[in-house]
Amino acid sequence: MEENNVGWEELRAIAKRLTRDVNGDGKVDQWGFLKPLSANRVAFWMRAAGANFYVDGDHSRSDLDSPGAIAALEFLQSLRWDDGVIPPPGVSASFTAGTAAMWEDGSWKLIDLLGVPKDGSPKVPFAWDVMPVTEGAGPAGHHGHHRWLRHQPVD
C-alpha cells in the first residue's frame, strides 16, 4: 500500500467482506475486524474525526458531545452491533489464530508477529501485511501514526 487512502466506509466494506461463517453453521468463524473499544483504543478515531476526550488542557470540559466524537463513537459501535464485524463482548477472536482477519494495534505489537521462534516455525502461520490506519473526517495530522491494521489478504 503506497498511500493511506482508505476511508471509514471502505474499511466497513472490507470488514464486511472478511467476516465469514466458514463452516456453514450460521455463526461467525472469522471476524472482519478485531478492535478493542476501550477508551484508549477509541481516542485515535475521535482525533481522526476532529475531536478528543477533553476540549481544554486541564481536562475539565469534555468533548464527548462534539459532532466528531459522536461520529467516531457511533461508527465504531455500528461496526460491532449493526454490521457485526467486530466481535461482541464475551466472544474470543484472535488474529494469529485466524479468527480475526484485520487487527488494529500499535506498532509495538509487531514484535509478536515478526521473526522466527527457536523451533524455526513462523510466529504467524499465514501471509499478512501492515497498513496505516484509516483516515477520518478530521484534519491531517490526526491519523494516529503509531497504530496499524494487520490484515490477511482477501481471497
| % of the chain residues with pLDDT over 90 | 42
Beta bridge partners of 104: 149
Mean pLDDT of 59-68: 93
Cα(40)–Cα(147) distance, integer angstroms: 12
Determine contact, residues 46/72, Cβ cutoff 8 Å: yes
More confident residue, 53 or 148: 53
- Mean pLDDT (whole number) for 49-61: 88
Looking up cell 478485531 gives 34
pTM of the model: 0.83
pLDDT per position as a tens digit, 127-145: 888 877 776 654 333 344 3
pLDDT for 148: 46
79 vs 153, residue with greater confidence: 79
pLDDT of residue 152: 52
Q: Find out whether 23 and 43 touch, Cβ atoms under 8 Å.
A: no
Nearest Cα to Cα of residue 149 among 32, 43, 17: 32
Q: What is the mean pLDDT of the chain?
A: 83
Residue 155 has pLDDT above 70, yes or no: no
Calculate mean pLDDT across residues 72-80.
95
Taken in order of first residue, the domains within the chain and their CATH numbers are: 8-151 (3.40.190.10)
Q: Tell me: the pLDDT tens digits for 14-43?
A: 999 999 999 999 999 999 999 888 888 888
Per-residue confidence at 114, pLDDT binned at 50, 70, 90? Answer: confident
